């Protein structure tokens, strides 16, 4: 009986951490990609995968009230073997698409390269690597290599029945990956990005562990250590001093018990 209670407690603890792991940062879908808010999902487990249901309130993201209005969801907890962490939600004309909202991955179906923001004139997504692939907002290929191979973007189910809330269903983790990883963790994109003199970095671990966060130049040369502590499970954040760094691109990496887990790119703008 005691073992059963302990098992249930561990399952509940891991489920709660999954909500933190899969919390989405929502950004404007046009430059400079401002952070608009964060949304914690409801977790649903199926036989072979774990889903996150995101309830997005239109009043919080008024861009979605406009036809062709779009936002980006950045879901750090997505299994990188299966999915790209950035997702577009776009409002489209019902008469053209038979629905009011569509949601697709930001990764081109040709070679997985990231897509440009939705073009305000053509209402198409374009692959940034120059292969010429263009996509409709619902992910269907319009032109280029993706059209030649007949491969649409990965899409996500959106439920909207009018009113202020839409629901997006994101396939986040394969069950085997979830079961294999003994200590789930996440490292979020620094805020703001680009940044100037300082930035906020948020991270989390499922179990008490030693966490280090190191800074490297874009070629991978170690520069200095932001953080090195044994910490409790859960969500944590630090403010890092960047005033001594010249303008440019950098990488910061997270290590849990000396094992590398996540890497993010930091853009340093001109000092204020």
**Residues 33, 58 within the same domain:** yes
Q: What integer pLDDT is reported at residue 124 of this predicted model?
A: 96
Higher pLDDT residue, 80 or 143?
143
Q: Flag whether pLDDT at 8 surpasses 70.
A: no
Residues 6 and 43 in one domain: yes
Are residues 192 and 71 part of one domain?
Answer: no
Asked, for residue 146, whether it belongs to a domain, the answer is no
46 and 8 in one domain? yes
Residues 57 and 168 in one domain: yes
Domain assignment present for 239:
yes
Residue 5 has pLDDT above 60, yes or no: no
Statement to judge: residues 9 and 71 lie in one domain: yes
Per-residue model confidence as pLDDT tens digits over 23-60: 999 999 887 788 899 999 998 887 778 888 999 999 99
Query: Per the domain annotation, does 48 fall within a domain?
Result: yes
Same domain, 204 and 258: yes
pLDDT of residue 16: 85
Give tens-digit pLDDT for 143-182.
998 899 899 999 999 999 999 999 999 887 666 666 677 7
Does 128 map to a domain?
Answer: no
State mean pLDDT over 120-127: 94
> Around Cβ 42, how many Cβ atoms within 10 Å?
13
Q: Is 80 exceeded by the pLDDT of residue 212?
A: yes
Question: What pLDDT is attached to residue 179?
Answer: 65
Average pLDDT over residues 130-137: 87
User: pLDDT digits over 90-112, tens only?
Assistant: 999 999 999 999 999 998 998 88
The count of C-alpha atoms lying within 13 angstroms of the C-alpha of 154, restricted to the half-sphere facing its C-beta, is 18
| Whether residues 262 and 171 fall in one domain | no
> Rounded to two decimals, what is the model's pTM?
0.82
Domain range for 161 is: 2-107+154-176
Based on the fold, state whether residues 162 and 236 are members of the same structural domain.
Answer: no
Tens-place pLDDT, residues 259-268: 999 999 999 9
Q: Other CB atoms closer than 10 Å to residue 150's CB: what's the count? A: 9
pLDDT of amino acid 3: 53
Average pLDDT, the chain: 89
234-239 mean pLDDT? 95
In a domain, 117, yes or no: no
Same domain, 9 and 25: yes
> Is residue 166 included in any domain, yes or no?
yes
> What is the total count of domains within the chain?
2
One domain for residues 209 and 162: no
| Residue 93 located in a structural domain | yes
Percent of the chain past pLDDT 70, that is, above it, reads 90
- Which pLDDT band, with edges at 50, 70 and 90, does 18 fall under? confident
What is the pLDDT, as a whole number, of residue 137?
98
Report residue 85 as tokens: 């962490």
Q: What is the mean pLDDT of residues 122-138?
A: 89
Tell me what pLDDT residue 272 has: 53
Q: What is the CATH number of the domain that holds 213?
A: 2.60.40.2550
The widest CA-to-CA distance across the chain, in whole angstroms, is 63
Which of 75-84, 145-154, 197-206 shows the lowest per-residue confidence on average (mean pLDDT)?
Answer: 75-84
Q: Are 32 and 166 in a shared domain?
A: yes
pLDDT tier for residue 71 given thresholds of 50, 70 and 90: very high
Q: Which of 176, 209, 237 is the last residue of a domain?
A: 176
User: Is residue 229 domain-resident?
Assistant: yes
d(CA 203, CA 237): 6
Among 18-27, 167-176, 236-245, the range scoring the smallest mean pLDDT is: 167-176
Structure confidence at residue 131 (pLDDT): 75
Which tops the pLDDT comparison, 30 or 185? 185
């Amino acid at each position: 009986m005691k073992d059963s209670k302990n098992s249930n407690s561990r399952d509940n603890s891991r489920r709660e951490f999954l909500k933190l792991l899969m919390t989405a940062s929502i950004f404007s879908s046009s430059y400079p990609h401002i952070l608009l808010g964060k949304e914690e999902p409801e977790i649903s487990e199926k036989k072979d995968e774990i889903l996150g249901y995101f309830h997005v309130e239109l009043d919080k993201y008024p861009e979605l009230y406009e036809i062709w209005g779009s936002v980006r969801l950045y879901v750090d907890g997505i299994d990188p073997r299966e999915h790209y962490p950035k997702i577009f939600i776009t409002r489209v004309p019902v008469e053209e698409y038979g629905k009011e909202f569509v949601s697709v991955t930001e990764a081109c179906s040709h070679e997985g390269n990231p897509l440009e923001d939705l073009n305000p004139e053509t209402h198409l997504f374009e692959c940034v690597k120059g292969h010429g692939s263009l996509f409709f907002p619902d992910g269907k290929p319009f032109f280029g290599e993706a059209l030649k191979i007949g491969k649409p973007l990965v899409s996500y189910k959106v439920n909207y029945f009018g009113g202020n809330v839409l629901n997006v269903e994101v396939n986040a983790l394969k069950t085997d990956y979830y079961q294999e990883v003994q200590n789930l963790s996440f490292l979020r994109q620094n805020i703001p990005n680009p940044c100037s003199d300082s930035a906020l970095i948020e991270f989390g671990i499922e179990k008490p562990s030693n966490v280090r966060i190191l800074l490297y130049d874009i070629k991978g040369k170690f520069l200095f250590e932001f953080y090195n502590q044994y910490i409790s499970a859960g969500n944590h954040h630090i403010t890092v001093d960047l005033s001594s760094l010249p303008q440019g691109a950098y990488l910061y990496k997270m290590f849990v018990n000396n094992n590398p887990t996540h890497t993010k790119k930091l853009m340093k703008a001109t000092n204020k």
